[in-house]
């Protein structure tokens, strides 16, 4: 086999990959994304069902985004303080993670995969490079994703005043889960 046919084959393979992958995008508009802060004095939880996600099979790229104002707290005053004093949702309305799956996943067949995703997490206007563990489940052409990871407030320039230091954790646990449907 000469180099010319090698290159041609590569070209054809790339073309085929491109063509076949075009149909392979998965989307969600109702990912459940929650946060959990725990200290010996207080547990705080908040959740939103308005997370959105896009998965591009061809590139193994995944992007997840949340309008942080949609996070709901038990206590509305706490929710107001979260938006006004900590996450500053007027200035930084979205929290976002964009990355690439580190392991190959066959999205055309049913199966479970433990994966890691390496990319950039942007919260409160601060970008951090992160590798985040997660789970991908494929069944009947629907992709289910879930993840749980911790975010340090200090990493994203979120200041906690001394007065409430005992009530708000330094590391906040973030959970996200939901179904992604194929884009037709």
Nearest to 69 by CA among 52, 54, 84, 53: 84
Q: What is the CA radius of gyration of the chain?
A: 20
Residues 6+ apart with CB under 8 A from 22: 58
Q: Is 69 in the site for other proteins (CB under 8 A)?
A: yes
Only one of the segments 56-64, 109-117, 122-130, 147-155 lies at the binding site for other proteins (rule: CB under 8 A); that segment is 56-64
Buried b (16+ CB within 10 A) or exposed e, 122-154: bbbeeeeebebebebebeeeebebebebebebe
Q: Is 183 in the site for other proteins (CB under 8 A)?
A: yes
Only one of the segments 82-90, 109-117, 126-134, 150-158 lies at the binding site for other proteins (rule: CB under 8 A); that segment is 82-90
Q: How far is residue 130's CA from residue 21's CA, in Å, rounded to a whole number? A: 26
Under rule CB under 8 A, how many of the chain's residues touch other proteins? 58
Contact 158, 171 (CB under 8 A): no
Q: Is 61 in the site for other proteins (CB under 8 A)?
A: yes
Q: How far is residue 163's CA from residue 142's CA, in Å, rounded to a whole number? A: 46
Exactly one of 13, 16, 18, 103 binds other proteins (CB under 8 A); that residue is: 18
Interaction residues for other proteins, span 103-162 (CB under 8 A)? 161
Q: Is 63 in the site for other proteins (CB under 8 A)?
A: yes
Binding positions for other proteins, rule: CB under 8 A:
4, 7-8, 10-11, 14-15, 18, 25, 27, 29, 32, 34, 40-47, 50, 52-56, 58-59, 61-63, 65, 67, 69-70, 72-78, 80-81, 83-85, 88, 90-91, 93, 98, 161, 163-164, 175, 183
């Amino acid at each position: 086999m000469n180099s010319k046919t090698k290159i041609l084959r590569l070209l054809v393979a790339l073309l085929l990959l491109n063509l076949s992958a075009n149909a392979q995008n998965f989307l969600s508009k109702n990912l459940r994304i929650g946060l959990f802060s725990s200290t010996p004095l207080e547990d705080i939880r908040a959740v939103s069902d308005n997370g959105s996600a896009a998965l591009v099979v061809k590139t193994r790229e995944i992007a997840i985004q949340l309008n942080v104002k949609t996070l709901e707290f038990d206590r509305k005053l706490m929710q107001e303080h979260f938006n006004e004093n900590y996450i500053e949702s007027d200035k930084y309305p979205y929290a976002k993670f964009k990355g690439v799956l580190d392991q190959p996943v066959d999205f055309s067949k049913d199966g479970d995969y433990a994966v890691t995703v390496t990319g950039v997490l942007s919260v409160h206007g601060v970008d951090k490079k992160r590798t985040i563990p997660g789970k991908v489940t494929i069944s009947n052409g629907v992709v289910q994703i879930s993840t749980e990871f911790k975010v340090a407030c200090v990493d994203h320039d979120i200041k906690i005043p001394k007065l409430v230091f005992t009530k708000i954790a330094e590391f906040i646990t973030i959970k996200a889960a939901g179904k992604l449907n194929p884009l037709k």
